Structure 1
Amino acid sequence: MVLNLLNPKSFLLPVFFIAVFANSVKAQDPYQSYRQDWLKKAEDNKPKLIETEKQPVSLVRLEKDPAAFQGWKAINTDSVGKLYNTSFKTQSGVVVDFGEHLTGYFTFSIKSLKGTPDGPARLKFTFGEVPSEVAVPFDPYKGTLSRAWLQDETVTVTEMPADITIPRRVACRFVKIELLGASPNFDFHISSMVFKATSSVAFKPPLLAATTPKLIADIDRVGLATLKECMQTVYEDGPKRDRRLWIGDLYLESLANQFSYQNNQLTRRCLYLLAGLSADDGVLLANVFENPEPHAQAGSRLLDYCLLYGVALKEYVAATDDKQTGLDLWPVAKKQLDIIRKYAGQDGMIDYQKAGKEWWVFFDWKDGLDKQACLQGLSIYALNQTYALAKLLGKENEVDDIPSLARKLKAAAYKNLYDPKSGLFVSGVNKQISYGSQAWMILSGVASKQEAQTALKALSTVKDAVHPGAPYMFHYYIAALIESGLKVEAKEALQNYWGGMVKKGADTFWEVYDPNDELKSPYNFYPVNSYCHAWSCTPVYFIRKYPEIFQR
């Protein structure tokens, strides 16, 4: 375009195009008119935290023990009174046990015993969820996550007496206290300690049936503690780390919550928060933070989590009959289905290679897992579950292509991924066999009930079958066992896996658990693992939803 500089009207044309372009970019946000309302409703549903003061129960000594979890155990040695009534200079390195996992704020009081404080005292506090976390040196640090996630804090006390609250929120059972420096001209002692524990849980769930086996009851107890600790002002994935809301954790926590604490307000808040902070193209971002103001992690695009949002919303609406929230957030659930439409080929197979290049595709902390079958199965599952949500809300006409698309993907999965000779589903060019592939082919309805049972039973005979790497995938394996009617096997698997953590002393269930490798860490340093993690709480859901399986 050539401008006539003598004609003022010629300047109007590019200005017009700029205005149209700006409006079109703005119009690309499909939720523009909804976001502020969603974020307001998220804030309106923010729960008030309940604070409980907890006192330490004993002093412990940490000992190496190859039979203990990660090779360390805590042995009771003295009452806390010994710490309070004795010079701290003689007790540097003492470990205090609060007797349970706590999330919140630690306060200690410090006083002089004799002499005049003529200089500061410097103390180091290390907070641990499990014994190894306060026994294993953090440095030199070789982990792939920020060293700052590790819970050690240095405090310099310049005046005594003093009551000091460590400003950082911590999650722990054990506290190790070391003296880094103090003047030789005076003595002092720690005179008291208190932990202000926080959670949004205010409801005691019903008791299990008297016929419940003890191990199942213990698993339920630890699962409830895990969920309680993660239920802060959002469903946190881990109160130590990462301390934020993830879609995948929200889905599993909300299931467990439905059958225990019944805090529907918290679920509602999280659903609105994720919607309000989604990307401008309508795609959900995988995780969000609350502070200093609500915001999503930029660029956190996790394909399988996007597809689970509509499933979580459907479960919430079905459980609560809160159709208004469902209608408010329907545009978000519907929009995520475009992801499946984009990658579904003419042959009915999801283009896993293309999706894997453009997205983070997770499914499990398991190196080497081929995720083609998992993604195909979840896509079918998400289509069917979101269509069920549409029917609950009277919105079927807006997604009338979904039933046929789901059938097309299902037929393609059966044709391309089922091996009738072995009775197992395979994944990828190497035809990998994994627990995850079988689980998602079953949950999606690709396998008949008989085929599902055959596949799950055959898994144990496959030497190189890829096992779940974390409780997250193990949840879907248990769900597949129940879906296929293998109730005895589901109970046995739950007792073996989560019961294994209980037998190893778990107060809360862990982010990563491999019975054959207790030091496994996705982050190259096991103390930075989360030992209270949201996606591990789902035995609560299974035990309470299916009492005929687990409570007798």
Structure 2
Amino acid sequence: MALNHNHSKICFVAVTCMLLFTASVKAQDIYAQYRQSWLKKAEDFKPKLTETVKQPIGLVKMEKDASAFQGWKAVKGNGIDSLYNQSFKKQSGVVADFGEHLTGYCTFTINTLRGTQDAPVRLKFTFGEVPAELSVPFDPYPGGLSRAWLQDEIITVTEMPATITIPRRLACRYVKIELLGASSYFDFHITKIQFKATTSVTTTPAGLAAGTSPMINDIDRVGLTTLKECMQTVYEDGPKRDRRLWIGDLYLESLANMYSFKNYDLTRRCFYLLAGLSGDDGILISNVFETPEPHAQVGNRLLDYCFLYNVALKEYVAATNDKQTGLELWPVAKKQLDIARKYAGADGMMDYVKAGKEWWVFFDWKDGLDKQGPLQGLTVYALNQTYQLAKLLGKENEVADIPALAKKLKDAAHKNLYDKKQGLFVSGTDKQISYGTQAWMILSGVASKAEAQKALKALPGVANAVHPGGPYMYHYYMAALIESGLKTEAKEALQNYWGDMVKKGADTFWEVYDPNDELKSPYNFYPVNSYCHAWSCTPVYFIRKYPDTFQN
């Protein structure tokens, strides 16, 4: 018995040690030697925000109009003094218009007009980027995201006079003020509504070429405003909702920034933040927060965004020749290639079924989009772009297997996904035809130029083709048109899609826009959509990078 007991103890100790060792290995942080340096550099590159005080330009009334965006329009009303000079009790529900999209903090002054304040006053402020946000009831709330993202705030004023700054940072053009409760024994008025607007932008880009069409000028102007509003202390995805740094938005914002504001320190800050907050296994987390201290949304991994980090870093190094940043972050870019190696099959096809089970694979807000084609194309693209980055940095020897892997996946894509009869690329077991698949087959170089042109020209005639769900995928469709040499079609597409938003009154470009469904929302409630969204700003990039196409 004693022998068996001792043997059991020895086995228990051995197993325990082995488990502890295994846990230690699993918990090992492969970037341990770099993280603090990366996070310090991210902090060093943090911009100081510029602040500009803005005043309302007047009052507006929200009216139903079936022809207006989402069925509501703002109709010009009285001057702002009509609010300031009268009892607020007679004006509950008034809407002030700042005339432009702003991100920052709202302040107002409240004071008695007659009598003595004998009870608190309760007010409700609702801030909206578009008219429908102030016109559609928020409750009962049907949305899939937190109700707290909606910008309505209840303020209780216990003493007057008072100047009050709403503590929450807001993003809006319009503010509606309603009276929820007040004593009948005294009267009061509201004055001096103002907005302290913030952005990290400090420069004004050059104007477009003389003779550029008014519509292209308008699209560029709205795109620049969208980018400016999202350029806070990181490239935010949307200043109203989410308000954090996502890799996919970083990529597109950094492209637009290269051709406009040229704030490269902000780009570097974002690269270093994402690297410093990546997983212990070296794989990037899709998004990160800045406050109360920098931290990632743990567990939120997005496969296509990991690849796009590499593409964004390559574009940045190529544009700036900042090889130091590239070299310091090269370990991160190199590590993301393991994702491609893991899911690439012996036949050269990415195992998109397995990847879809183990990852969030995004590509677009579009229900029903088959992602085999986009994943295959993006993987080839990311492999080639990362190898180009390696060549810029003199690191080709560290990824010597990548050109052959990229070719293998490229050849397999053409063999398995190209339908010669239709002249289109298909995706998945149902052979789905989508704009997303065509875009990524073209950008990756799987399609020849002739095949690319044929596919893109055929797409509009395919009745069941899956269209882009929003501006994010539309960017890649635009890029494919340009890559294919279809300049006329590219200009037409830009004017039809983003120009349509301009025609519908956009001050900034929207997170989601389907010309056939203005109420579309991935979150089951369109007022919670972001109406100033980073991934929608890329007309700035196209218009300014390709002036011969868009400014003639």
Instruction: Confirm or deny: 8 A CA contact 1:128 1:151 kept in the other structure.
Output: yes
Residue type matched to 1:455 in 2? A
Instruction: Confirm or deny: 8 A CA contact 1:171 1:239 kept in the other structure.
Output: yes
Q: What is the Cα deviation at residue 416 of structure 1? A: 0.2
For the residues of structure 1 that align with 2:273 and 2:160, how far apart are their CA atoms? 45
Instruction: Confirm or deny: 8 A CA contact 1:472 1:535 kept in the other structure.
Output: yes
Q: What is the Cα deviation at residue 17 of structure 1? A: 5.2
Helix, strand or coil at the partner of 1:451:
helix
TM-superposition CA deviations, 1:191-243 (whole Å, max 9, x none): 21110000000011111101211100000000000000000000000000110
Helix, strand or coil at the partner of 1:194:
strand
Instruction: Confirm or deny: 8 A CA contact 1:275 1:332 kept in the other structure.
Output: yes
Helix, strand or coil at the partner of 1:174:
strand
Alignment of 1:506-545 (within 5 A): 506-545=506-545
For the residues of structure 2 that align with 1:207 and 1:500, how far apart are their CA atoms? 22
Q: What is the Cα deviation at residue 367 of structure 1? A: 0.6
For the residues of structure 2 that align with 1:119 and 1:19, how far apart are their CA atoms? 64
The number of equivalent residue pairs is 549
For the residues of structure 2 that align with 1:461 and 1:5, how far apart are their CA atoms? 78
Q: How much is the aligned-residue C-alpha RMSD, in angstroms?
A: 1.6
Q: What is the Cα deviation at residue 9 of structure 1? A: 11
For the residues of structure 2 that align with 1:328 and 1:473, how far apart are their CA atoms? 31
TM-superposition CA deviations, 1:103-128 (whole Å, max 9, x none): 00000000000000011000000000
Question: Do residues 106 (structure 1) and 106 (structure 2) align?
Answer: yes
For the residues of structure 2 that align with 1:280 and 1:102, how far apart are their CA atoms? 38
Q: What is the Cα deviation at residue 20 of structure 1? A: 4.4
Question: Do residues 375 (structure 1) and 375 (structure 2) align?
Answer: yes
Cα distance change on mapping 1:145 and 1:209 into 2, 3 Å: same
For the residues of structure 1 that align with 2:224 and 2:10, how far apart are their CA atoms? 71
Residue type matched to 1:412 in 2? A
Partner of 1:184: 184
Residue type matched to 1:367 in 2? D
Runs (4 or more) in structure 1 with deviation over 6 Å come to 2-6, 8-16
Uncovered stretches (5+) of structure 2, i.e. residues with no partner: none
TM-superposition CA deviations, 1:54-94 (whole Å, max 9, x none): 00001001100001000000011100000000000000000
For the residues of structure 2 that align with 1:21 and 1:37, how far apart are their CA atoms? 28
Partner of 1:196: 196
Partner of 1:24: 25
Alignment of 1:460-475 (within 5 A): 460-475=460-475
For the residues of structure 2 that align with 1:5 and 1:278, how far apart are their CA atoms? 45
Cα distance change on mapping 1:389 and 1:163 into 2, 3 Å: same
Instruction: Confirm or deny: 8 A CA contact 1:200 1:233 kept in the other structure.
Output: yes
Alignment of 1:10-409 (within 5 A): 20-21=21-22, 23-27=24-28, 29-409=29-409
Q: What is the Cα deviation at residue 395 of structure 1? A: 0.2
Instruction: Confirm or deny: 8 A CA contact 1:250 1:270 kept in the other structure.
Output: yes
Helix, strand or coil at the partner of 2:479:
helix
For the residues of structure 2 that align with 1:151 and 1:229, how far apart are their CA atoms? 17
Cα distance change on mapping 1:345 and 1:95 into 2, 3 Å: same
Give aligned-pair identity as a percent: 76
TM-score with structure 2 setting the length:
0.97
For the residues of structure 2 that align with 1:243 and 1:513, how far apart are their CA atoms? 20
Helix, strand or coil at the partner of 2:106:
strand
Helix, strand or coil at the partner of 1:460:
helix
Q: What is the Cα deviation at residue 4 of structure 1? A: 8.7
For the residues of structure 2 that align with 1:188 and 1:364, how far apart are their CA atoms? 50
Q: What is the Cα deviation at residue 503 of structure 1? A: 0.2
Cα distance change on mapping 1:48 and 1:3 into 2, 3 Å: farther
Helix, strand or coil at the partner of 1:282:
coil
For the residues of structure 1 that align with 2:368 and 2:24, how far apart are their CA atoms? 45
Q: What is the Cα deviation at residue 41 of structure 1? A: 0.5
Instruction: Confirm or deny: 8 A CA contact 1:4 1:10 kept in the other structure.
Output: no
Helix, strand or coil at the partner of 1:123:
strand
For the residues of structure 1 that align with 2:383 and 2:74, how far apart are their CA atoms? 49
For the residues of structure 2 that align with 1:107 and 1:76, how far apart are their CA atoms? 23
Question: Do residues 435 (structure 1) and 435 (structure 2) align?
Answer: yes
Partner of 1:451: 451
For the residues of structure 2 that align with 1:185 and 1:263, how far apart are their CA atoms? 55
Helix, strand or coil at the partner of 1:78:
coil
Residue type matched to 2:115 in 1? G
For the residues of structure 2 that align with 1:347 and 1:440, how far apart are their CA atoms? 19
For the residues of structure 1 that align with 2:264 and 2:491, how far apart are their CA atoms? 28
Residue type matched to 2:106 in 1? F
For the residues of structure 2 that align with 1:146 and 1:11, how far apart are their CA atoms? 48
For the residues of structure 1 that align with 2:363 and 2:24, how far apart are their CA atoms? 38
Cα distance change on mapping 1:18 and 1:346 into 2, 3 Å: closer
Q: What is the Cα deviation at residue 143 of structure 1? A: 0.5
For the residues of structure 2 that align with 1:351 and 1:509, how far apart are their CA atoms? 35
Helix, strand or coil at the partner of 1:101:
strand
Q: What is the Cα deviation at residue 18 of structure 1? A: 6.8
Q: What is the Cα deviation at residue 360 of structure 1? A: 0.5
For the residues of structure 2 that align with 1:461 and 1:338, how far apart are their CA atoms? 39
Instruction: Confirm or deny: 8 A CA contact 1:230 1:238 kept in the other structure.
Output: yes
TM-superposition CA deviations, 1:115-159 (whole Å, max 9, x none): 000110000000000000001110111011100000000000000
Residue type matched to 1:156 in 2? T
TM-superposition CA deviations, 1:328-385 (whole Å, max 9, x none): 1001011001001000000000001110010001000001110100000000000000
Residue type matched to 1:294 in 2? P
TM-superposition CA deviations, 1:32-69 (whole Å, max 9, x none): 11111101110110000110000000100110000100
